[in-house]
Structure 1
Amino acid sequence: MDAAAGICRDRVVAVTGAGRGLGRAHALAFAAEGARVVVNDLGVGPDGRPGGDSPAGRVVEEIRARGGEAVAHSGDVASAEGAASLVATALGSFGRLDTLVNNAGFLRDRMLVNLDEDDWDAVVRVHLTGHFLPLKHAAAHWRAETRAGREPVARVVNTSSGAGLLGSVGQGSYSAAKAGIVGLTLVAAAELSRYGVQVNAVAPAARTRMTERTFAGTMAAPKDPGAFDAMAPENVSPLVVWLGSAASAGVTGRVFEAEAGRITVMEGWRRGPTADRGTRWTPAEAGDTALKLLAEGVPPHPVYGARQET
């Protein structure tokens, strides 16, 4: 595709955790559609510990080799300083910021009884705080633009997970953080619409460093080089690019699953069967009523990895 004619032509996009996997695929896809890209990556290992690597620079080189424009950012977006410098890098390098893709994260999986507080805090910090702080600083910029009479056509794409929507055994911290990202997305969409900002989330499934151990053997690339690679991270990027473009006008506060060739609109918590007696229940009455309502409702999807009763 001619990048000059792409759906993100002239847009400036910042992608966090863009040195590998999904983030790298997103950065390359945005550049292919004409965007100028800020490639953020801290260069850590899959568990968030120092990795001694600089993958953001390599992705920038890839984009430039294909005729695109990009700059690297190696700050920690889960810190106020790093998040602020991400926005500053976009403004300093390209004069604007149009789209923020929050994608950075890592895993430290443990069953709950074995999960250390430090590991819990680290996972929640990078996923949830690492979404909140870049969003906050980008939103402050867009609010200032609106108040100056330059209302942006701004987009935020957050990265949740099926683990955050349905739960995943052995991933309590990750599931909690990813569920929090959905809540953050809904609030941000409601609060920021007045400033020309749309906020959505994707729950991707793809082969990355984070998933290769969790789903070992089920996400391998096909042996036939001509076959469709259902688990390639590049399959998720087209939806992310569209959500990050002006073409997605009117779409905000939504959550999508994206995997292989499938896109699903997720329908979250909605009020189901209800009983109202107009006064206080006794515990026994509340229990009887709850059981009746549960029998009328739709059973939840099973938690990933949960043992199924036969």
Structure 2
Amino acid sequence: MSAICDGRVVVVTGAGRGLGRAHALAFAAQGARVVVNDLGVTLDGTPHTPGPTGTRHTPGSTGTPGVLRSDGPAAAVVAEIRAAGGEAIAHGGDIATPEGAASLVTTALEAYGRLDTLVNNAGFLRDRMLVNLDEDDWDAVLRVHLKGHFLPLKHAAAHWRAEHKAGRTPHARIVNTSSGAGLLGSVGQGNYSAAKAGIVALTLVAAAELARYGVQVNAIAPAARTRMTQRAFAETMAAPATGFDAMAPENVSPLVVWLGSAASEGVTGRVFETEGGRITVMEGWRPGPALDKGARWDPAELGEAVQELLALAPPPGAVYGT
């Protein structure tokens, strides 16, 4: 029996550790050739080797797209894939820059002659309560998560549109990475929650716009043990001594691989929550109870009307951390 991704070329961003690494290995195990992207930065996005002043700076902002540490996490994942008999190449560009995102697509095309699937996964955290959240930390997290999804998506989509116009309509796939924080909110993670909510909206727009070119776009909201979640939810994410490890990142990858394969034909514009062995189709904002006066409301009468509507509506989900 052939593997589900035989012949496909897959790009995974942030693939040096955690979920990205698990996805890259799983795609390779299913026959894909994988471009493994990772900058090899710390948990908050700063380089492992500080600059001469020791101050924080945005990864890749002064570097060269494609520069890669030979001993970095991307190279290590490539070595794992090759040791298992698969094909992979490392990419060290900053995907939140136009040059880095463009070189990501170029790397796939030059190495393997095609691009079939993009998995947007790269990200880091800079958690603060809102009153203590610096503008730089807001910008950095929005940049890596939201801009770091938009730019690779844009450049991959441009390639697939060109293929479609040339009469080679692809069976292309994009899998974006949102979070429960983006769907419900998370205390102390206003920047991260906003970015992940934006990724959901971006997914819906991209699915609608790119369908004509043969591109399907979906998002996942995973719960798994990574560098980010181990710090924020240490007790919940701890591996059990025995039995099924529900928080292992490898549990998320089967859904990502399936969504990234040609077998997922017809599935687009969806958000899936995945944790352990459970997969849930998430339902977004839909019209609920409504009152129509047929004329302009007076502010004084709205209290009773709104309370009536809220009594008919289900309560919102709890924000993480409350």
1:17 matches 2:35: no
Which of 171, 174, 197 matches 1:179?
Answer: 197
Question: C-alpha separation between the residues in 2 aligned to 1:262 and 1:231?
Answer: 11
Q: Quick check: 190-199 or 276-285, which moved more? A: 276-285
Q: How do 1:13-52 residues align onto structure 2 when only pairs under 5 Å count? A: 13-52=10-49
* 2:232 maps to 1:235: no
3-state SS of paired residue (1:58): helix
User: Of 234, 249, 258, which aligns to 2:274?
Assistant: 258
CA distance in 1, matches of 2:301, 2:37: 55
Gaps of 5+ in 2: 50-70
CA shift, 1:141, in A, is 0.3
Q: Take 2:266 and 2:293, find their aligned partners in 1: how far apart are those partners?
A: 40
Q: Secondary structure at the match of 2:237?
A: coil
* TM-aligned CA deviation for residue 278 of structure 1: 1.7
Question: 2:320 aligns to what?
Answer: 304
Matched, 1:195 2:192: no
Q: Which stretches of structure 1, 4 residues or longer, exceed 6 Å deviation after superposition?
A: none
Residue type matched to 1:182 in 2? V
Aligned length: 301
**What is residue 247 of structure 1 aligned with on the other side?**
263
TM-score by length of 1: 0.96
1:215 maps to what in 2? 233
Counterpart secondary structure, 2:28: helix
Instruction: Determine helix, strand or coil for the equivalent of 2:229.
Output: coil
- Correspondence list, 1:145-156, <5 A: 145-156=163-174
Deviation at 1:289, TM superposition (A): 1.4
Normalised by the length of structure 2, the TM-score is 0.92
CA distance in 2, matches of 1:92, 1:284: 65
Letter of the 1:222 counterpart = P
Distance 2:123 2:74 in 1: 15
Indicate the residue corresponding to 2:300 in structure 1. Answer: 284
Residue 105 of structure 1 pairs with residue 102 of structure 2: no
After superposition, the CA RMSD in angstroms is 0.9
CA distance in 2, matches of 1:186, 1:237: 21
Distance 2:37 2:302 in 1: 51
2:84 aligned with 1:66, yes or no? yes
Q: 1:287 Cα shift?
A: 2.7
State how far apart, in whole Å, the 2-side matches of 1:140 and 1:295 are: 47
SS, match of residue 211 in structure 1: helix
